[in-house]
Amino acid sequence: MLEVITGFLILAIAGFLQIGFFGKIRLMGGTTDLIMLCIIAWSINERSKYSWILVIAGGLIMSYVSAMPMNGYLWMYLIIWFIIRFIKMRVWQMPLMLMLFVTILSSLLISVGTLALLFLQNASVNYIDAFRQIIIPSLVMNLLLSIPVYAFLNDVINTIYLNEESE
């Protein structure tokens, strides 16, 4: 229960930071997706039990704030969560490497998903410009922020479960 409450708090703070602060920090046209990084870091941790609840909460926060059509963020975050579950259980068990790998994969997945949704809406999309000015810079920014986010949330989750075990 403490995990869920703490997770909600962290996601709420991340949401405010994403809209206010990180939305303004741009590398060319790219920005970082703090909620996505929080969800990845939370889901990767072996001790976390309720990461799926936080994935849904993060998806709903982003769907509420963003103009992304068809609640795109919610579905894409759920896909990322399933990918993490699959990779963590069967392929890869080194958390930091997994964090970096999933960050790259998720950034590309969200970019491709968004472009597909915009294509369905008949938006004016220049794919080469999108790749050069948004997708690659966003990927770089996500990678830069992924390690501090992982370190922070890993400590938070470990602290929560150490406290519960000691009680």
Partner 1 sequence: MRKRLNFRNWKKVVLVLIVLGIAFFALSGYMAKAIDRVLSPVVRVQSTLMERLNFIISLFSVSEDQVALVAENEDLKNQVAELQSRIIQLQQNLNEADILYALLGFARSSPDEQYIPAKVIGKDPSPFLKYILIDQGSDLGIRAGMPVVTNKGLVGRIDAVTASAARIRLITDSTSMINAIVVDADAECMVQGSITGDITIEMVSQDVKLEPGQIVQTSGLGGDFPADFIIGQVLNVNQINNEVFQSASILPAEDFNSLQAVLVVSNFSPANTAPLE
Question: Does residue 72 sit in helix, strand or coil?
Answer: helix
Burial annotation 80-119 (CB, 10 A radius, 16+ → b, else e): bbebbeebbeeeeeeeeebbbbbbeebbebbbebbbebbe
- Give the nearer residue to partner 1 in terms of CB position, either 62 or 157: 62
Candidates 3, 7, 11, 33; binder of partner 1 (CB under 8 A) is 33
Residues 57-116 that bind partner 1 (CB under 8 A): 62, 65-68, 73, 111, 114-115
Phi, psi of 56 (to 5 degrees): -65, -45
Candidates 11, 35, 74, 157; binder of partner 1 (CB under 8 A) is 35
Task: Say whether residue 142 binds partner 1 (CB under 8 A).
Answer: no
User: How far from 70 is each of 3, 41, 63, 138, 156, CA to CA, in Å?
Assistant: 29, 25, 9, 22, 33
Q: How many CB atoms lie within 10 A of CB 155?
A: 10
- Give the nearer residue to partner 1 in terms of CB position, either 29 or 95: 29
Task: Say whether residue 133 binds partner 1 (CB under 8 A).
Answer: yes
Task: Say whether residue 122 binds partner 1 (CB under 8 A).
Answer: yes
Residues of the shown chain interacting with partner 1 in the complex, contacts defined by CB under 8 A: 18-20, 22-24, 26, 29-31, 33, 35, 62, 65-68, 73, 111, 114-115, 118, 121-126, 129-130, 133-134, 138
